[in-house]
Each structure stands twice: as structure tokens, then as C-alpha cells.
Structure 1
Amino acid sequence: MNKDIVFFDVETLDSEFESDKFIEFAALRVRNGQIHESCRYLLQPDQGVTGKWHTDLQIEKLGNALPLPSDRQEIMNFLGDAVLVGHEISGCLSILERKLNVRFQQPLWDTLDLSKVFFPTMHHYQLSYLADKLSLPLKDETLHPSEEKAWLTWKLFEACWKKGLKFDLSFFDHAKGFMAEWVGKDFIEQLHKEIIISFPDRPIRTDLVLTPFTDEGLFATEKIATSIPESIDWVVDNFSPGGNLEQNLPSYESRPGQVKMARLIAIGLSSSQHVVVEAGTGTGKSFAYLIPSLWSAKKTGQKVVVATHTIPLQEQLQKKDIPILEAVLPFSFRTSVLKGKSNYCCLKKWQGCLVNREILGNQQKLAVLSILVWLRETLTGDIQELSKVPGLMELWPNISADNETCIPGRCSKAGVCFLLRAKKKAEESDVLIVNHSLLFSDLKTDYNVLPEYHQLVIDEAHQIYQTALQHLGSELSVENVTRIIDNIYRPTGINFYGTVKQRLQSLASRVPSVPWEIFTKRLEEIPETCASVLEQMKELFELLSMILGMERTFRFVAQHTVKPWWAGLNIQIENLVGRLKSLLTVLESLSSVLSGDDADEIEELKYTLNGHQRDLQSFVDTLILAINVNNPKHVTWLEQSSRLYLKTSPIEVSEILREKIFSRLDSVILTSATLSVSNSFEHFLQDIGLPKSTLTAQVDSPFDYERQMQFIVVKKGMNFQNTDGEKAIELAEFIAEVAGRMNGRTMVLFTAHSMLRQTYEYLSPLLAKDGIESLAQGIQGERSTLLEAFKRNPKSVLLGANSFWEGIDIPGDTLSCVILVKLPFWPPSLPLIEARSEYLKSQGRDPFHELLLPEAVIRFKQGFGRLIRSKGDRGVVILLDDRVIEKYYGRFFLGSLPIRTHIRGENALVFRKIEEYTRDLSEELL
């Protein structure tokens, strides 16, 4: 590039560019790939030094700093007519423009935006993170330390430029239509010109440009064939002292619990038994079930399916554990991951997106640029590879493989289809990794989603009951009904009705055997029928909103049938069911007109119509269930979250699980760190439909909890008689005291979002005084965003609710304190909990001891387990709910923990114990 480029950075007193206060400006002027000159200015803030300190500068140096206006001309001369490049440039520029009283006219490029386009799988785009992941060159020693960020910005810019120079010319042809409003447009255009000049012979591709992929690339190269050991002893010997794992993995240590678990699973798989194993944190359960599963699959030739609840565990198995086992096991094997259709990019829809760009917003257009790069690199087409850049999640439904018109075998892109690749790998794999959701999708469709299998491993099995309830139930909202109806007909945009009308003349000429005049007449009934469905649906939800009022949930019960609104609700539901059935009749009549022909075009139409009919029928089924309030095994309720839902669910799934999973499969292995209550599996086995005679085992964690942590129960930690506002103030003051002593590094687990939000309001200013950052779920962001922010800045306190009680893995001293606000009992008034409780009562059983208490103990164990994740972890768990020592049922909680001692006392004692603990830990580390 012939132009001079200035790479610059502004360091501020504030963590965000929210004020005019800043202290240092550093810049490098680069010409022809070399530093032509550099500058740095120490700038006087408008006010004294206050707040957090975010630079390496010494405070006393500020006394010699000059106000910015005196340096104005020098800075203006330095910037000149160069291209300006920074990382997160908008904040820096707004400050400079205000201070210099100028509006920059030259090109302004932001390496944050460029890196999101050119490196779309990074997931995080902090400059230091990118420097590490991209191995950017270290700063020139002749430069001042304050110029390091400007240097890294330059090197990141070069990395984007060098990668772009390798692109085919079709990239630029496609990108051209998506850059009109983007400030980085000129960068792409300059790159394009450079390629044309430097690489005149580069061919122009007109087809889809994808990573080369062949059938041979489905799996890694196979090892020389070896016989598979017959004996279970071989499985166990892998884990034993001096065994295969210890010989080949330098950091591996044989663990008795892992040996025990692997033996039990191998027995279960080889003798067609179901097995339940509770494996404490640090057991190494992934290897303990993967090696027996791989051995069994290779020995019998029968696939083993492994189902996890969370994506992070799927990623760990695929990207960490499996590659290790490929290197150390003596035989070759094939594994794959299969996800739901919506996770994969549909290349046919993608091509349509490139053509129909006018329907996309500006952020979605920038997401298109990232995907253009990603599709040239990915082998899977899986959205989980992509960074969630702005606009991506809004764009993704337009290009995902969750496509009711898709007939994979007849698609023009079938040869390069990501979903078909994944399914082919799944068919040919020895061990297939899925998630719980896909497992239940397979059950709901009579086993039409997954390839045939007879052995199943369910990890994170404590979630299986809730997942079953979720997937075997159903829900309606204005939004999901509207989405389905819009797919059938809407006045603007792509829809079934409009697409078919456009194709009618072509279809009639290509398939003359169909009576198209009858088809067309029935097709014209769709717009009015769809409009009537939407009208009636909105009326129904207006009534449902009135019934719900200001509550968050409302359960329908038999006593409501005498309420004045019940008759009106029945009429509204009957009317909507009638209109949905009218639309179903129209679609069925269209299918019947087409029934006599099997041309490809006709099969595609019938496939689409069948998909729409299934969706509409599910709505009808949900509505019919909703007004049946006399079924003791079923519950219907309203729930207000981001939108209003009408939900239905079975309350008892043990019979379904027994029939659909345990009776059908040869062997099912269920494992988790939290399955037992006071050393008993009775609750778990009963919930999921397994007999008490099932093979079970508890495997203790190898961690020394008595040495690695302290468990403190605070007496009078929560005054349940106080108002929520009073509780929030007391809680905020307590957390601030603890966090100050722990220097942040604290996670607080709540059972209610409302208490979390109220506590945050009081807590945030208290922590700010000590320079501690506050991170709250639903305020600064959601789970993944907050976890990354917490890991980047351990001097912070993270407040989380339900989803934070499990699946959080932060080893090391980043997390050193976990505060549990309350024992995690589900509110007994939740519709599903209330209905399940009533059902148990009707059978003469005790809902508290059979439902509320066991569920709370298991969640409590999950929250407690967030602290100690490795042998090197140290820290404190604090429980503010003294019911655990005051109530008789507290022994169930305490007896389920891996620690046998605890400290109990009021606040003063707690603070003293924390100080002693942190002092002892510091001395230990010294």
C-alpha cells in the first residue's frame, strides 16, 4: 500500500471511553512497511487523577504533562493526510476530534472490525488476545513501552492484509455488495487492487469457494489394523499405575476412582447392563467412559452414542480428549459430533442470501463478510466455530440448514452439504457425540434423527429429567406461530405461497400431468386463511395476557373451569384450532392434487407442504392439551419472560424414558458429578424409571477438599423476615467485605434474578471504591460474555443465577471464593413443581422429601462444586443460609458434600477466618 498509515492508541483513566479524561497518546507512522516516525504525548487530564488506574505511567509524571491544545499542531502535523488505524477506534477518535476541534477526513480503519472479518473464529477480539493467538511479533525494543499497543495494532493490520492477499477474486465480487455503509470498505478495495496488480494470473472462481474436502478426509488416517483386546482387564490396565495412559501422557496420574469407574462401565457395556456412576470432580470421567466405549464399539462393531448436556463438554470431547486417545490407543477408531440442523450452514440458502442482500441490515451485512472468509476455511459449517459478531444471530436463520424445503438427496449442493457430511460421519463413526436435545429429538421422531445404535452414554445425566420434560412438552407464543405462518404466506419477503406462484408457469410446462388449475385455485385460499389464523392468535394471546396479569407464571387447574374467563378462553382456543385446521385442510388439498406425480419438483413441493402441516398440527395438539385440565399427569401454564408463552408438559417422564431408552437399548451408562443425595441414588433412579437393582457406584474426587478449601456457614446470614430491599442492602455490604479481602476473585450464586439485580445496584458502587469490577448476569451480559470478562479481570465479582450453578469451570486462583446466597430450593409455586407435588401427594407420597429436597441438594452440590476444579485450586465457599444447620433437613445437604468439616459463625468470625485463610495461603505460596 502506497499511503502512509498512522497506527495509534489512546490510554485513558477510565475503562471505557466515557469522558474527556485521558493521559497518553502514542502513534507510529508507517511508510512502505517501515516505521517512518513515532510520537507519544503525555496529556494532562481536565481534572485530577480519580477512579481506576489503567496505565503503567507513574502518577507523579502527570505533574509535567501539558494540556492537549499546546500539542495540537504537532499532533495534527504527525497525522497529516495518513490513513488512521486503531483498535476499537471510535472511542479514541471521538476524544481526539473533540480535543483537537477537528473532523478527520482521511480513511479510518478499525482493526477490531477487520479482525472480525479476516479471523472469524477467534471468539474474542481484545488486542492482547489476538496478539497471542496470531503469534504477532513482539514490539521493537527501540520503541517506548507506551507504543506497544500501536505496534500490535500495526502487526494485526498486517496479519489481516497478508491473509487477504491469498483470497480468490470471487471473495471481492461477493463482498462488494455488503460494504456500502462500512468504514472498512476502502481497506477491502485497496486489498483487491493489490491482488490484481501483484497476482494478475489469479483465476476468478464462479462457484462456491470452500475448503477442499474428500471422503477420505472424513476421518483421520487409520493405523495399521490390530486385533481388539477381548478382556475387560485391558480397559482397566490403561488406567492403572504404569499403564498405557501413564506411559504416554506426561501429566497423567493413575486415580483409583477412575480405574473403578472405567471397570464398571466396561462391565456394563460388555454384559448389556445399565450403569449409574456418580464421579466426583477431578475423577477424569471423560476418559473413564470414552476408552470403554471405543473398545466396545470396535470389539462388537456396534456404535456407541455419547450424549452431553452442554456445548463446552462436547467441544472438550471433540477437540481435547479424542485427539489424545487417537495418539495413545493401539487401534484406530472413528468418532464424530452431530448437532441439530440449525447449527449447520446451508450452502443453497447461503447462495440465496448473497443474491438477496437488500433484505439484510448493516450489521447482518458485516456478518456476511465474516462468513465469506469462514466458508473458505471450515470443514464442518458449524456455527459454534464462528465468533458471535453483531448481526450473526439475526442472519443465521436465513442460512441455517433448519430448512423445511430441504430434500438433501435432491439438492444441487448435496455433494458439499455440511449437514450431509456430518450425517455421513455419524453413520460411519464408532463413537458418536451428540447433545441431550438431539437425543430427545431422535426419540420424538421415532428414531429418525440419529443412526442406529444400541449403547448409550449420558454425561451430565443429572440434567436428563429436565431435558426430557422440556422436549416432551410443547409451547406456543405469538412469535413462533407468526414465524410458521410467515413461512407459508406473508405480503413481503420469501414465503411458500409467493415462491410457488412465481414458479407456477415453469412447473406447469415441466410437469403437465398435474391439474395446475385446481392447484392454483386452492393455493389462492392461503393468504386469507393465514391472515385469519394470525388475527385469532393475537386475540387469544391478548386474553392470555389479561389472565396472567402482572404475574410471571400462571397454571391452569380444574378449579378455573368455573371462572368467568374460562368459557371465553375455550371459545378463543376452539376458534384458533378451527382456523389452524382450515389452513391444514388447504395444505392437505394441495398435497392431494400433487399426489399422483413423483417428479423432482413435485416431490420438493410435497416435502415442503408436509413440513408445514407437521408444524400446524403441533400447534393444534398443544391447544387441545392446554384446555384439558383434568389430566393429573399433565400441566399447562402461562409464562412471561422475553415474551408470553403458553406451555404444556408431562409431569412424569419415567415411563417414557423406560420405554424409549432403557427398554430399547442394550446398555445405558449415566454419569455426573451430582446424582446421589446423602449417598443414595434412590431419587435419581425413580425419577428416570430405572429399578433399584441397577448397577450403581460413587467414585470419590481425588481432590483433598479438607486441605484445599474452607466451607463457612454464616449464622443469621440471611434474615428471611426482611423485605427484599433490606436483604439486598445487607447482602451487598457482606459481599463487598468478602470481595475486598479476597481482592475480587468471587462468584455469588443467587436463586432469584430479582434479588441479583437489587443486590447489584447497592454492590456496584461499594466495589468500585476498591477498584473491583462488578459483573452481573442480565445486566452486563449473559453467561459466556461474563465468564470471559471475569477470567480477563480476576479483580471482579461475578453475580449469577440459575445457569451459573453448574457447568462453570474456572481453575486456578481466578476464582477463589464462591458465595451461595440461599439453599437452591425451587419455588413450590412454579407450575411444573406445583403439579409434580400434587401428583406425588395423590399417590400418598411426600413432595418435599421426594422432589423439592433432592432437587435442591443436587443443585447445591453443583454450586458448591464451582470452586475446586483442579488439585492446585484453593479457596472458600460461603453459605449465607443457616437453615443448613438449623433445620433437620440440613443434614441431607451437608452429608452430600465431599468435605466433612465446616466453620459456622456470624459475620465477624467469617471475616476473620477469611483473613486468616488468605494470610496462610500467601505464606504457603511463599
Structure 2
Amino acid sequence: MGLGTWAVIDIETTGIHPATDEIIDLGFLQFEGTKLVRTYSSLVRPENQVSSFITKLTGITNDHLKKAPLWTQVEQDLLSLEAHSLLAHNANFEESFLKRYFDKIPSPNGRESYHDSLFYLALLFPEASTLNLEGFINQLGVADKEEHRGLADSRDLLKVLLLATYLTHQDKEFRMKLSEVLMEFPAEFFYRQFFMLKAEELEEIAEQLDYPLVESAKRYLIANKVEPLKIDKFDKFSTDFSGQNIQNILRAEKDINEVLPYYKYRAAQESLSLRVGQAFKNGIHALIQAPTGTGKTMGYLLPSFLFSKAFKETCLVATGTKTLQDQALAKDVPQMKRLLNLGPETKVVKLVGSSNHLCELLFREDNNEEPTFITPFGETFTKAYFEMLFFYNSRVPYEKKLTREQIPFILKKLAPELAEKDQNLAVDYRACAGQNCPLVNECSYQQGLREAKEAQLIIGNHALMLNWPRSIPRPQFIVVDEAHRLEHEATKAYSLEVHHKSIESLLKNLPQGMGALIYLLNSMEDGFAVENTVQTLRDQTQFSLKMLRDHYDSLPGVVEAFFKKLPNYSPAYSNELPFPKKSELKDPLAAAILNHIESMNFIFETLYNLYMPFISRWENRDFKNEAQKLKAWAVFETNFGSLEKLHASFKHYIEYPADWSTIIKYSESDSYSFESSPIDVGRKIHDELLMMSTSVVFTSATLGNASGDSGVQGVEWMTGYTYLAPEKRFKTGLYLEAVYDYKNNSKVYLCPDTRNISDPLFVPELLAQVNPLITKLGGKTLLLFSSRLRFEAASEIILREFEGKIPVFVQGLGKNVVEEFKKEEGAILIGMESFGEGIDIPGEKLSFIVVDKIPDVRQDLVIQKRRDFFEFKFGNEFNDYFLAHRTRSLHQKFGRLLRSEKDHGAILLVDNRVKKWKGNTLKTFQKLMEPYQIVSVPLKDATEQIADYFKV
């Protein structure tokens, strides 16, 4: 079966909604077999004006469109693709706009069909964590960026498909595997035929595009060839673990510059290193604030490596984000190892929790099931994707193996079957077959554990630290970086959450677990007793699941009705209420909800008691060299683990412990869930982390204010530091002096005279006063907005006023907007609130920051209860918990301004809510924000004073 008639197609539109937005650009490449028969491109005149945002994205202006044909003229060209296979990237978008036009005409030759290149490329590149077209264009060297024009993007997509497919001809093993996988798809799946094209046929198509396919493949292979890294030996420092040696190393600026050319001695970094070393040596816990510019990572890695080498102890570094993990492994750790001349025997391992890994044994068990007569595309693709993922993992070392976090979100969204399979294949340490698993050598989880047992340093995250794998002991010496995030991460780690999909999953999968158990009973035991046991299992399981299904089906309607009668119900967002207590029931709907929950709790307990006797009957070593029985055991254990979690969670909800916040959540898009979180999270961290560890060092740039005399009590509580005995902690935290001259090099203005932030005129009036200042500065500006509505409004105004005069870069418009901003002498960068926490732009290119409001603290019920608890237990929750939370977040955004000693600039913070602050709240806020000196003035005065400061 050949390719038939097909086309690569792309459209540009005025927005994302087919019902209200219009097509403004259509481009396609039309083929018959391997012959290009037509190249088409046309702008389309819309009825409405094109926004500045769309102009920035596509380069299409309203002037361009004035003389363009109307859609009625272009439509006939589109319809020439009747009965074609239409290829597009994220093809759902094209289909949502184009389908209605094809549907209007009779199709004697068959309907058009849409084929998403995103799925095909995901099979070709299982290691890709994002699947946007620009990423592939960039990665494969097709172009520098996506043009967002119909024909250009169609052409670039086809080049990507050609080169990606052609490269498989150079990797025979990969090509053979993918050939097998694609044969599972029906013949109508276009990319099955495309993949089977011979190299000469791919070259033929490429030649018609004037695309040098063979040369492009050679360039790509050369560029991606991994050469052994040749590093000159560097042997200038002792590896003794002592305060004097740490000082000697850090003060040897010229020697360090041979490895780190930009290194500069900082007294604050030395103090940080010494305190970490003292904490580890004396077996006590520490709290360290290391302001921006301290060199925090090097500061704690140096004593960690020296201590590990001297005392043969493994150290754990728990970071706040995956980005920091990756940065440490790719940059900071190799630099430190070279500096200390630590060879390959000094092992550093990245470790993630068991549930982040994928179990191939479970995947193989699922694939033994008999296929249905017609398998839905989502199921076929899901199987194919995981086949290629596990194949990829079988060919790469541990540090490159893929885990669940690398699976692109877009795939889970487009293929719900894949999202479900991802959940079901998560490793459950209880069900892990360990060294007896026939696939143990390829398993990322088991390999990670083996590597970690031999490591001197483990790089993990907060979640791993708090939910440590049971197979190996957690290191006794720990550095917790970005410790200001710990309350949020601990809440997630310690919460008991059940989503309605968890119950649905049990209903679907428990029969499989029962079948696996029955198989084990029949194959490993004999006699009349087994027959009776099997029958009892079947009868009780089927009856219990039927009862559970009745409650599961009824509960959503009751929960929905209960929430929708509330006066503050929001259809757009998640709503939450306290879990209903039997003693306080006043509403019949609340009573009905509790009745369903109590009944489901009884069913879970019945099932748990039914299966519990079998959970300790066998161990994985009982099935050595018996792969089928081992798979069955793993399936049973995994299903029992899901049941056990539901049983424990529902039992907890019913008991309603007073020191937990237990709630029901509901949203129209996501139905209901139950969640219970500890209120005193600091006590949990103390009992389960600090009491179990010899030394834990908490560090961050933003624990409190500059001197540590304000805003730190909340941090000491949430880290468990408050609960430590005096002999297990330093008398006070270490609050290192600011590295930069904030007093002279930064001007910060708080302007309370703007409109309410939710007012539609807030953004236009703000920018009416700010834009003239941006013009005078020649850009050099970062604007951060806390809602998408304000972000989009500001983007539109900024683009309309500055595009063509000062370069404007908008979050989401391109993959590397920050890097592109850095290349300009003066530019404007616009982003959402969180965008401002990971940007590093030293120098004058970023001199002015606008923040639209003081960040808020989530107002959910657990936070409210923590505020009440804090007030009762420690005192002033408003200052030391609520306001301190907000200022820590604000410090993170302000921290983008000064990134080197020579940097200087100004920050404009606008928030009219401060006018309602009572008493000394503003003074407390200013104190919490030290070392920044915040001046409260009208917006007009602030812009004038900033202009004077810059002398513009």
C-alpha cells in the first residue's frame, strides 16, 4: 500500500476558537505518492482586525491582509485536498477549523483524514520531553525557529519528518524495532506507510523541496556524536575535611579560575561552607540564608564532597525543582569534582522516587491480554509508545533512562489511554520483584537503587527526601536547597488524596489482580481448600465491586448538587469544603455524601480483609526463574497496593483527626476528590526527617529578611527547626550578608494609587504611565503579571506600542525568549508571575522590573487552619506566617534585578490593596523586604524618580 494522495498542511488563525476566530493564512504541500504536485500559500482577509499578539507570532499585519482574498475565494483551493491524508503537527487544531468546510461537500472518493505528526515523532524520539514543532526544527537543524506561517511551517514539518525517518536507516536495530511496533497500527495509519519508505524515496521527496537530506543527516550525526571528554588533570587542592582546608580552597581565587573562570572569592560563600561542614561534623541541624550571589551551590557541595570522602558517608542534596537538579548534575557537580580531582570512583547519582519509574514487567503482563477485534487508536499508540520507551531505556546508561516525568504532558492529554497506562505502570516498591525480575538489568528503578548504594553524593528533590525508598537507607547527612518551598512539598508528600479516578482505576483493575492471585493459588497450592478459596474470592470480589460501582456512579451527582447550591460556587475553578462530620450534618446532600463515603469505606475494608491474608503468603524470591508466576505476583501486589491506599485514606477521612485538614474538592472539569493534609507540617518534618537524620542543613536565598530578625519564625516552624532540642541545632540560623549593594544599586517603589487589579482599566492605565519610561530606558524591562488576563492585555498593549521600535519578547512566543532577550542591547520581556523566578539576566540588559501585585498566599482550607494554628501556638501569624510567605515570594521576583556586583536598576510594584493595610503593616512589610528599601509613592512620582535615577 503506497502513500496515496496526501498533503502537509498548516494554518494561522486570529485565535484558538474555531467558532469565533478566523483563518488568516493557509499553506500546504500536496503529493501523489512521492510526487509533489502542488505548493500552495495564501493569506486570508478576516472580518476582524488581527491582534498585535498574532502579528508578533506570525509576522502577519493588518496591512498585509487588506488586499488578501476572502475565505470564500481560498476555500476552493482547500477543498482540492478532498479525500487526502492531511498531515499536521497537533492536527486537532487544523481539524477543528477545516472539518466544517470539507463536511459541506459530497465525498464520493472518501473523506479527508487527519494524521498528527506529534504521535509519529513521539515514537521516533521517545526521549523528547516536549513535542512542540519548534523543538524538533531546532534539534534537527532544520531552522532556527518556527516561522508560524502556513507554507513555511508545512515545509519545515515535512523536512523534520523526512530527516527523522531517514536517520532510522542509519540505526538498523532501532528501525527494526519501530517497524515491528508500527505494524500493530492499521494500514490506514499514514505514518506506518511513510516510515516504510526507502531511503531513495525519502531523498526524492526532499529533492523536490530543495532540501539536502543526505547532507543534513550527516551534519546531525556529526553534531550529536559523543566524543570522550578529555579533561586536564587538576591537582592543586587537598581533600582533607577541615575548616582550614575549606578556607584555603575558597580563597585560592587564581587557582579556581583555571576551572571556573568567573569565580570570585566571597566571604559569604566561605561562611556557608564552614557552617555546612560544622553541622555535618558535629551532627546537628542548621538553617542558612544565602542571598543571591553567594554561590550557594558551590558553597554546600564543597563540604559535602570533602565530608563524604573523609568519613565514607553518603550525602544527599535535595533541591526544590527539577531544573536545579539538572543544573547541579550537568554543571555544578562536574566542576566541583574536577576542582577536587575526584575521579570516577566518586559517584554522584540522581535519584527519583519509586512511583516516578515505570515497571516494564507490568507492561509485559498487560500486553499478554488478547486484543479486541478493533483496537482504538489511543490503545494502539499507548502500547507502541511504551514499547519504544522501554526499548530506548534498554540502550542507554542509568543517567539517561526515561522516567514518568519525561513523558510529555501533551501525549497524556491527547491520549487518555496513555495517561491511564502511565499511572498503572508506576513502580510500587511493595510489588517490585527486585533482583528476581527477569527485566532487572533494564529497570531504571532497580538500577538507580544499585547506583545510589555506591554513591558518595545523591541528588534528589524534596519529594524524594520526604518519601524515601524503603530499599535503601536515607543518607544521614542532607542539604535541603530552596528550603522556602518545603511547606508546599511536605503538604503534597504527607497528604492523603483520593481522586475519583483512583476509585475508577480500582474498579477496572482489581479483577485483574484477583485473576493473578487465583493463578498463583492454582499453580502453587492444591487440594479442595484452594477451590473453596478461589470461589470465595470470586464471589466476594464481584459482589463488593458491584456495590462499590453503585456508590461510585451515584456520588458525582450528589457532590455536584451539593457544591452548586453554595453561594460562592465557581464553575471555572476548583471548589473545596470541609469534609462532612457526622455530628454537624444539617444538609441532606451532605448527609448523602457522607453515607456514600462510609459505605465505600466499609467496602474497601471488606476487600482489604479479604486479600490481606494472601499478601504475606509469598515473596518475590519464591518465583525465581518462574517469569509467569513472578508477573502474576507483581500484578496482585500492585493492585493490593492501590486497595491498601484507598482503605487507609477512607479510614482516615472517616476518623476525621483534628490535627489534619480534611476536605472535599469539586470542579466541573475534574469532578471530585478527597484530601487530608497535616496542619502542623513542621512537626511531621521534625519527626520523620530531622529525628531520623544526623544532620540536615536547610538553605535558601529567601528564608527571611536580610538580617534574619524578621519573617523567619514561619520558616523555623515549617522546617521542624523550632521543635529541635537545643543540642541538635545552632543557637540561631545563619543569615549571611547581602553580596550586592542593594541600598545604592536598587530603587524599589510601591505605588498604591492604581486601580483595583481586577478592573479592566488597571493594565491600560498602568502602562500609560510606565510605557514612556520604558521608551526612555530603551527597553531593558521585565514585566510580570499574576493572571493570564492581565498578561494578555499587557502583551497586546506593549506589542502595539513597541513592536518595530524596541524588540518585544513574550513568554510562550518561542522556545528561547530569555536567550533572545539577552542578545539585544535593549528589549522588553513580558511573562507570568512564576516566569520571574528562574530568569538569570546579569548586566544592564535588565535594569527595570514591573510587578503587578504583592503575591498572595493560597486561601484554601489547610492554609486557613495553619494560620489559626500558628496564631495559637507561636503568636503573630499575620506577620510571621501570612505576610512572610508573601514577601518570600516577592523576594524571588525581585531577585532577577541584581545578578552581579555591577548591576543596578529599579523595581516598580503596584498594589492598591496596601491602602487598606492597618497599623504598622506597611512598616512590617518594608522590614520583611530588607535589604530592599521600599518607598511608597504615587505611580507618577515613582516613574519620574526612576527616570532621574537612570538619568534619562
SS in 2 for 1:664: coil
Q: For residues 530 and 431 of structure 1, do their structure 2 counterparts lie closer, same or farther at Cα, with a shift above 3 Å needed?
A: same
Conserved 8 A contact 2:11-2:23 = no
Q: Please give the TM-score of this superposition, normalised by the length of structure 1.
A: 0.76
Q: Which residue of 2 aligns with 1:205?
A: none
* Residue type of the alignment partner of 2:907: V
Please tell me whether residue 535 in structure 1 is matched to residue 550 in structure 2.
Answer: yes
Q: For residues 652 and 32 of structure 1, do their structure 2 counterparts lie closer, same or farther at Cα, with a shift above 3 Å needed?
A: closer
2:605 pairs, out of 581, 588, 613, with 581
Q: For residues 303 and 704 of structure 1, do their structure 2 counterparts lie closer, same or farther at Cα, with a shift above 3 Å needed?
A: same
Q: Which residue of 1 aligns with 2:206?
A: none
Conserved 8 A contact 2:791-2:831 = no
Conserved 8 A contact 2:318-2:465 = yes
Q: Which residue of 2 aligns with 1:346?
A: 359
Q: Which runs of 5+ in 2 are unaligned?
A: 203-228, 570-574, 805-809, 822-827
Q: Which residue of 1 aligns with 2:288?
A: 277
SS in 1 for 2:460: strand
Q: Which residue of 2 aligns with 1:381?
A: 402
Q: CA deviation at 1:156?
A: 2.9
Q: For residues 69 and 474 of structure 1, do their structure 2 counterparts lie closer, same or farther at Cα, with a shift above 3 Å needed?
A: closer
Give me the whole-angstrom Cα distance separating, in 1, the residues matched to 2:199 and 2:383.
18
Please tell me whether residue 178 in structure 1 is matched to residue 185 in structure 2.
Answer: yes
Please tell me whether residue 905 in structure 1 is matched to residue 941 in structure 2.
Answer: no
Conserved 8 A contact 1:308-1:459 = yes
Q: For residues 421 and 160 of structure 1, do their structure 2 counterparts lie closer, same or farther at Cα, with a shift above 3 Å needed?
A: same
Query: Which stretch shifts more, 509-518 or 314-323?
Result: 509-518
SS in 2 for 1:671: strand
* Residue type of the alignment partner of 2:404: I
Q: For residues 558 and 239 of structure 1, do their structure 2 counterparts lie closer, same or farther at Cα, with a shift above 3 Å needed?
A: same
Conserved 8 A contact 1:651-1:832 = yes
* Residue type of the alignment partner of 1:896: L
Q: For residues 367 and 282 of structure 1, do their structure 2 counterparts lie closer, same or farther at Cα, with a shift above 3 Å needed?
A: farther
Query: Which stretch shifts more, 422-431 or 635-644?
Result: 635-644
Conserved 8 A contact 2:239-2:340 = no
2:708 pairs, out of 679, 683, 686, with 679
Q: CA deviation at 1:370?
A: 5.1
Give me the whole-angstrom Cα distance separating, in 1, the residues matched to 2:11 and 2:578.
55
1:163 pairs, out of 167, 170, 178, with 167
Conserved 8 A contact 1:735-1:763 = no
* Residue type of the alignment partner of 1:727: S
Pairing of 1:423-434 with structure 2 (within 5 A): 423-434=449-460
Please tell me whether residue 268 in structure 1 is matched to residue 279 in structure 2.
Answer: yes
Give me the whole-angstrom Cα distance separating, in 1, the residues matched to 2:432 and 2:230.
30
2:465 pairs, out of 433, 439, 444, with 439
Q: Which residue of 2 aligns with 1:798?
A: 831
Q: For residues 757 and 341 of structure 1, do their structure 2 counterparts lie closer, same or farther at Cα, with a shift above 3 Å needed?
A: same
Please tell me whether residue 659 in structure 1 is matched to residue 659 in structure 2.
Answer: no
SS in 1 for 2:493: helix
Q: CA deviation at 1:345?
A: 2.8
Conserved 8 A contact 2:290-2:701 = yes
2:537 pairs, out of 523, 532, 535, with 523
Q: For residues 266 and 222 of structure 1, do their structure 2 counterparts lie closer, same or farther at Cα, with a shift above 3 Å needed?
A: farther
Conserved 8 A contact 1:7-1:153 = no
SS in 2 for 1:184: helix
Query: Which stretch shifts more, 756-765 or 265-274?
Result: 756-765
Conserved 8 A contact 1:555-1:831 = yes
Q: CA deviation at 1:858?
A: 2.6
Please tell me whether residue 189 in structure 1 is matched to residue 196 in structure 2.
Answer: yes
SS in 2 for 1:281: coil
Q: Which residue of 2 aligns with 1:468?
A: 490
Give me the whole-angstrom Cα distance separating, in 1, the residues matched to 2:285 and 2:537.
53
Q: Deviations over 1:396-445 (max 9, x none)?
A: 22444348643223222122222111111111111112222222223xxx
* Residue type of the alignment partner of 1:855: H
Please tell me whether residue 420 in structure 1 is matched to residue 439 in structure 2.
Answer: no
1:852 pairs, out of 882, 901, 908, with 882
SS in 2 for 1:649: strand
Give me the whole-angstrom Cα distance separating, in 1, the residues matched to 2:84 and 2:620.
69
Please tell me whether residue 732 in structure 1 is matched to residue 750 in structure 2.
Answer: no
Give me the whole-angstrom Cα distance separating, in 2, the residues matched to 1:547 and 1:75.
49
Give me the whole-angstrom Cα distance separating, in 2, the residues matched to 1:284 and 1:597.
48
Q: For residues 285 and 38 of structure 1, do their structure 2 counterparts lie closer, same or farther at Cα, with a shift above 3 Å needed?
A: farther
Give me the whole-angstrom Cα distance separating, in 2, the residues matched to 1:648 and 1:521.
37
SS in 2 for 1:647: strand
Q: Deviations over 1:748-796 (max 9, x none)?
A: 454xxxxx466579768766755889xxxxxxxxx99799586599767
SS in 2 for 1:248: coil
Q: Please give the TM-score of this superposition, normalised by the length of structure 2.
A: 0.74
Q: CA deviation at 1:528?
A: 0.6
Q: Deviations over 1:317-369 (max 9, x none)?
A: 22232233333331221111111223223222343565667697535644655
Q: Which residue of 1 aligns with 2:572?
A: none
Give me the whole-angstrom Cα distance separating, in 2, the residues matched to 1:109 and 1:320.
40
Q: Which runs of 5+ in 1 are unaligned?
A: 140-144, 196-218, 490-494, 720-725, 751-755, 774-782
Conserved 8 A contact 2:578-2:663 = yes
Q: Which residue of 1 aligns with 2:576?
A: 553
Conserved 8 A contact 2:747-2:934 = yes
Give me the whole-angstrom Cα distance separating, in 2, the residues matched to 1:335 and 1:791.
30
Pairing of 1:772-851 with structure 2 (within 5 A): 791=818, 797-800=830-833, 804=834, 807-809=837-839, 811=841, 817-822=849-854, 824-827=856-859, 830-840=860-870, 842-843=872-873, 845-851=875-881
* Residue type of the alignment partner of 1:421: Q
* Residue type of the alignment partner of 2:753: K
Output the aligned Cα RMSD.
Answer: 5.3
SS in 1 for 2:310: helix
Q: CA deviation at 1:242?
A: 2.0
* Residue type of the alignment partner of 1:579: I
Conserved 8 A contact 2:840-2:899 = yes
Conserved 8 A contact 1:674-1:862 = yes
Q: Which residue of 2 aligns with 1:208?
A: none
Conserved 8 A contact 2:14-2:50 = no
Conserved 8 A contact 1:343-1:400 = yes
Q: Percent identity?
A: 16
Q: CA deviation at 1:273?
A: 2.5
* Residue type of the alignment partner of 1:496: G
SS in 2 for 1:645: strand
2:514 pairs, out of 489, 497, 501, with 497
Q: Which residue of 2 aligns with 1:216?
A: none
1:453 pairs, out of 446, 465, 475, with 475
Pairing of 1:868-887 with structure 2 (within 5 A): 868=898, 876-881=907-912, 883=914, 887=919
Q: Deviations over 1:381-407 (max 9, x none)?
A: 323444444235444224443486432
Give me the whole-angstrom Cα distance separating, in 2, the residues matched to 1:2 and 1:606.
46
Query: Which stretch shifts more, 11-20 or 460-469?
Result: 11-20
SS in 1 for 2:261: coil
Q: CA deviation at 1:455?
A: 0.6
Please tell me whether residue 292 in structure 1 is matched to residue 303 in structure 2.
Answer: yes
Q: For residues 316 and 363 of structure 1, do their structure 2 counterparts lie closer, same or farther at Cα, with a shift above 3 Å needed?
A: farther
Conserved 8 A contact 2:27-2:42 = yes
Q: Which residue of 1 aligns with 2:928?
A: 896
Pairing of 1:110-189 with structure 2 (within 5 A): 114-124=120-130, 129-136=135-142, 152-153=156-157, 155-165=159-169, 166-168=171-173, 169-178=176-185, 180=187, 182-189=189-196
Q: For residues 107 and 638 of structure 1, do their structure 2 counterparts lie closer, same or farther at Cα, with a shift above 3 Å needed?
A: closer
Give me the whole-angstrom Cα distance separating, in 1, the residues matched to 2:74 and 2:114.
22
Q: Which residue of 2 aligns with 1:199?
A: none
